[in-house]
Amino acid sequence: MRALAAFNQLPPPAQLTYVWEQGYYLAARPVGAAGLVRVYEVDVFFVEIHFPTPSDFEILRAFHESVYLQPYLDQIDLASLLS
């Protein structure tokens, strides 16, 4: 829980850097006409990042709850997470 709380205290650019450096990309889903939401595993939690355009981003949420992974489950290779 501490890692998630510490992540949430970072400013958004630092959060993005942390995800790029420590995260593992899991899946993406389209949003709107050209947007994309990507989910990453980071340490012991997950982070959703919305990219309305390739050069813009918004951290949507960082979470532990697996219910938020539901939109991605058909894309995630669980075997790679368990190895």
38 lies in which domain range?
Answer: 1-72
pLDDT(1) > 60: no
Average pLDDT, integer, range 22-46: 89
pLDDT(81) > 70: no
**pLDDT-based confidence at residue 53 (cuts at 50, 70, 90):** confident
Average pLDDT, integer, range 6-24: 93
Cβ neighbours around 32 below 10 Å, total? 9
With respect to residue 83, please indicate whether it lies within any of the assigned structural domains: no
Does this model's pTM top 0.75? Answer: yes
Average pLDDT, integer, range 45-58: 88
- 8 A C-beta contact, residue 47 and residue 57: no
With respect to residue 9, please indicate whether it lies within any of the assigned structural domains: yes
What are 28's strand-pairing partners?
38
Count: domains in the chain: 1
Average pLDDT, integer, range 12-27: 92
With respect to residue 26, please indicate whether it lies within any of the assigned structural domains: yes
